[in-house]
């Protein structure tokens, strides 16, 4: 782009070099931020990593009193909430993208597309507030009903026994363990809503870029609208949509306050989907401020470091997929 031959070198090379240096120096701050982040998180998590090693990631015990820290429960909580939220939101997001790109007339497509984008603009704390004040009471009422109805007594006794032994079964996983309304399920619901717009907007963009010929060819063969979508549009846009899904996964893994406000902050293993749990991000938000002891602090920062690397990898993969695997012309 910079056609050096086109610029009279003698006239301008000095001032140009100064400007280039200045711009490069400021742009290098981006690299500096990254390097400082790695350094900062690395040195602060070093004590915990040195003490616990890889056990940090496999041990279930997180006990500030005894000074033992293992992150397995939060890692499990992070993965379960993110993957469940992804599983629910992806079909909804793709459907809404199809609506905006293929079904809706223009006067409706634009406002709906804009509303979906606004979903991404709602702050995390506002989602958390809404979940706490509006959805938690609804879930709580359902859980109370489950507790108080006589036909569930047997199930409840059996599951309580399992839970007290720190175990769970598939059946008990779906049995309420408290009537608070908060917990894993609410975190999954709110995460689902929060990551919807990321998949939806990427999906909409790639669906719009599917060449018109693809649609017309199938219509000419007598295909229905759904057949065109399922056999021509979605396969063509698949790679791009996949990139959007992974981008949403990255968001879900790092989403903090909305989850921290509703998940209940418990380092138990995942007993029930209605019970309390925690994620790596929620533990950072809930505990870092109160962590007095050096090892506790270091352990919380280690969660931050893990989250850092996790999101670097996930986002890198997403961008790779969006950039490389999509058919030419779709970026």
Partner 1 sequence: MSAATTPSRARHQLSPARRVQNLVMGGLIVLATAIVVAPLILIFAYLIREGLGAMNLDFFTKVPAPEGETGGGLANAILGSIEMLAMASVLGVLVGVSGGIFLAEYPRHPLMPTIRMISDVLAGIPAIVMGLVAYGLIVLKFGFSGLAGAVALGFLMIPIVVRTTEEVLKLVPQTVREAGLALGLPKWLVTLRIVLPAAAGGIVTGVMLALARVAGEAAPLLFTAFGNSQINLDPTKPMSALPLEIYRGATSAYDENQRLAKAGALLLITLIFLTSLLARRASRRR
Shortest Cβ 165–partner 1 spacing (Å): 32
Give the separation between CA 277 and CA 269, rounded to whole angstroms: 7
Nearer to partner 1 (CB atom), residue 163 or residue 243: 243
Among 52, 56, 62, 127, binds partner 1 (CB under 8 A): 127
Q: Is 272 in the site for partner 1 (CB under 8 A)?
A: no
Contact with partner 1 (CB under 8 A): which of 48, 172, 180, 200? Answer: 200
| The two three-digit tokens of residue 131, written as one number | 């979940």
Instruction: Report the residue from 151, 222, 292, 329 that binds partner 1 according to the rule CB under 8 A.
Output: 222
Structure tokens at 79: 């993965």
Residue 126 interacts with partner 1 (CB under 8 A): yes or no: yes
Asked whether position 235 contacts partner 1 by CB under 8 A, the answer is: no
- Contact indicator for 81, 252 with CB cutoff of 8 Å: yes
The number of residues in the chain equals 331
Residue 132 in the binding site for partner 1 (CB under 8 A): yes
* Footprint (CB under 8 A) of partner 1, residues 12-51: 12, 15-16, 18-20, 22-24, 26-31, 33-34, 36-37, 40-41, 43-44
* Integer Cα distance of 30 and 306 in angstroms: 21
Near partner 1 by CB under 8 A: residue from 48, 73, 75, 100: 100
Each residue 147-186 as x (binds partner 1 by CB under 8 A) or -, in order, gives ----------------------------------------
Q: How far apart, in Å, are the Cα atoms of 281 and each of 238, 255, 292? A: 30, 7, 19
Rounded Cα distance, 165 and 198, in Å: 40
Q: Which stretch binds partner 1 (CB under 8 A): 46-54, 125-133, 140-148, 171-179?
A: 125-133
Residue pair 180/136 in contact by the 8 Å Cβ criterion? yes
Residue with smaller CB distance to partner 1, 75 or 318: 318
138 binds partner 1 (CB under 8 A): no
| Terminal CA-CA length for the chain | 20
Residue ranges in 256-293 assigned as alpha helix (H): 257-262, 280-287
**How would you classify the pairing of strands 68-69 and 62-63?**
antiparallel
Among 62, 181, 308, 321, binds partner 1 (CB under 8 A): 308
Which CB atom, from 100 or from 175, has the smaller least distance to partner 1?
100
Count the neighbouring beta carbons within 10 Å of the beta carbon of residue 70. Answer: 19
């Amino acid at each position: 782009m910079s056609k050096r031959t086109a610029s009279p070198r003698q006239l301008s090379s000095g001032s140009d070099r100064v400007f280039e240096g200045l711009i490069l120096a400021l742009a290098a701050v981006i690299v500096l931020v990254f390097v400082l982040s790695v350094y900062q998180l690395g040195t602060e998590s070093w004590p915990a990593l040195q003490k616990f090693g890889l056990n940090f990631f496999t041990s279930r015990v997180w006990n500030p009193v005894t000074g033992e820290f293992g992150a397995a429960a939060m890692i499990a909580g992070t993965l379960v909430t993110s993957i469940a939220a992804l599983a629910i939101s992806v079909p909804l997001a793709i459907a809404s993208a199809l609506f905006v790109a293929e079904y809706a007339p223009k006067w409706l497509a634009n406002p709906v597309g804009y509303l979906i984008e606004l979903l991404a603009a709602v702050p995390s704390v506002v989602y958390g507030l809404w979940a706490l004040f509006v959805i938690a009471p609804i879930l709580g009422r359902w859980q109370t009903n489950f507790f108080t109805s006589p036909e569930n007594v047997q199930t409840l006794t059996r599951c309580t026994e399992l839970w007290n032994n720190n175990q769970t079964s598939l059946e008990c996983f779906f049995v309420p363990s408290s009537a608070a309304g908060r917990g894993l399920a609410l975190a999954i619901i709110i995460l689902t809503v929060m990551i919807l717009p990321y998949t939806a907007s990427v999906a909409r963009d790639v669906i719009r870029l599917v060449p018109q010929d693809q649609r017309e060819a199938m219509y000419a063969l007598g295909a229905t609208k759904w057949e065109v979508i399922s056999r021509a549009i979605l396969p063509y846009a698949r790679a791009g949509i996949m990139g959007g899904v992974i981008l949403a996964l990255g968001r879900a893994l790092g989403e903090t306050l909305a989850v921290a406000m509703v998940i209940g902050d418990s380092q138990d293993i995942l007993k029930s989907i209605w019970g309390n749990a925690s994620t790596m991000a929620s533990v950072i938000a809930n505990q870092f401020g109160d962590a007095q002891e050096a090892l506790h602090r270091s352990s919380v920062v280690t969660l931050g470091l893990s989250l850092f690397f996790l999101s670097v990898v996930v986002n890198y993969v997403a961008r790779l997929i969006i950039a490389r695997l999509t058919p030419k012309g779709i970026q």
